[in-house]
């Protein structure tokens, strides 16, 4: 069982800094145009995708983890929401070029190869499309040991500073790169009640899970002050179509 399998079995609905409250506050602030076609990448158990659909957006959501998606589908069904869920890898999104108005991501891109992820986000966004991504960032000194441990346990593939992420976004062809929120320390997920959470309670008796939980606590305690998070906002250029087709 890896970290994402554990999150899936726990049925965690908002596995990102600030939790669901931060997501709702961010979306309120963004006030996306009505009827926008939104892609949520790495939707987990679908809590944010459902919130977006409840607010009138046309939502497609992808995730790599099958169990996450099964829970997301059941959540949407219970809420009677029409959302298209697809199992897909960020590195090759199963959508045509320039298809979405908005891409919304929370705590996913750090688990991927950033170059291909950012290239795919850009490809499937319309010209002038909006990209929002909340990710863990490096806010202090990074050591080999730290990178190795975080990679090994969480599967993090890239741990970079806010400045490096901004540069990466620009290098990948995004414009108007902004920081919407930032924190120099790692915030926990929050403890708000998720009425549709499907938690596998037998997990707590499982020794592997107990070991993983202890490792998680140890890593957070040790590295919390060197990890923060930021919410990045960026746009695809208005001539996105022309440049990509040459
Ligand atoms: C930390 S969880 C965050 C889930 C959700 N965004 C949330 O905030 O609750 C990371 C999610 O990214 C998904 N993921 C990781 N790598 C992925 C990839 N290459 N393509 C698609 N999804 C991926 C995992 O399966 C997991 O659901």
- What lines the ligand 1 site, CB under 6 Å? 4, 7, 14-16, 42-44, 62-65, 68, 89-90, 106-108, 111-112
The domain made up of 3-237 has a fold known as Rossmann fold (3.40.50)
Give the whole-angstrom CA distance, residue 242 versus residue 238: 9
Question: Which pLDDT score, from 0 to 100, does residue 121 have?
Answer: 98
List the structure tokens of 128. Answer: 């002038």
Give the whole-angstrom CA distance, residue 66 versus residue 245: 33
- Is residue 246 pLDDT above 50, yes or no? no
Mean of per-residue pLDDT scores for the chain: 93
Give the whole-angstrom CA distance, residue 145 versus residue 34: 46
Query: Per-domain residue ranges for the chain?
Result: 3-237
Average pLDDT over residues 18-24: 93
Mind listing the pLDDT tens digit for each residue in 131-149? 999 999 999 888 999 999 9
Spacing, Cα 80 to ligand 1 middle (Å): 23
**72 contact partners, CB below 8 Å, separation of at least 6:** 43, 44, 45, 46, 49, 61, 63, 83, 85
Q: How many CB atoms lie within 10 A of CB 137?
A: 23
Mind listing the pLDDT tens digit for each residue in 74-93? 999 999 999 999 999 999 99
């Amino acid at each position: 069982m890896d970290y994402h399998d554990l999150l899936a079995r726990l049925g965690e609905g908002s596995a990102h800094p600030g939790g669901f409250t931060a997501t709702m506050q961010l979306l309120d602030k963004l006030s996306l145009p009505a009827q926008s076609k939104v892609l949520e990448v790495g939707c987990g158990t679908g809590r944010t995708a459902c919130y977006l659909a409840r607010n009138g957006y046309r939502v497609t959501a992808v995730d790599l983890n099958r169990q996450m998606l099964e829970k997301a589908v059941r959540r949407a069904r219970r809420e009677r929401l029409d959302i298209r869920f697809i199992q897909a890898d960020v590195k090759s999104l199963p959508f045509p070029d320039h298809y979405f108005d908005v891409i919304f991501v929370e705590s996913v891109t750090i688990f991927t190869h950033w170059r291909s992820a950012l290239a795919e986000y850009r490809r499937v966004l319309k010209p002038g499309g909006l990209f929002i991504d909340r990710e863990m960032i490096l806010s202090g000194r990074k050591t080999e040991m730290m990178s190795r441990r975080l990679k090994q346990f969480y599967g993090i593939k890239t741990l970079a500073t806010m400045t490096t992420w901004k540069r990466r976004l620009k290098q990948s062809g995004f414009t108007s790169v902004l920081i919407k929120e930032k924190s120099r320390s790692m915030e926990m997920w929050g403890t708000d009640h998720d009425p549709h959470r499907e938690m596998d309670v037998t997990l707590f008796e499982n020794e592997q899970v107990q070991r993983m939980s202890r490792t998680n606590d140890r890593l957070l305690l040790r590295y919390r002050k060197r990890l923060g998070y930021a919410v990045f906002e960026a746009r695809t250029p208005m001539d996105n179509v022309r440049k990509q087709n040459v």
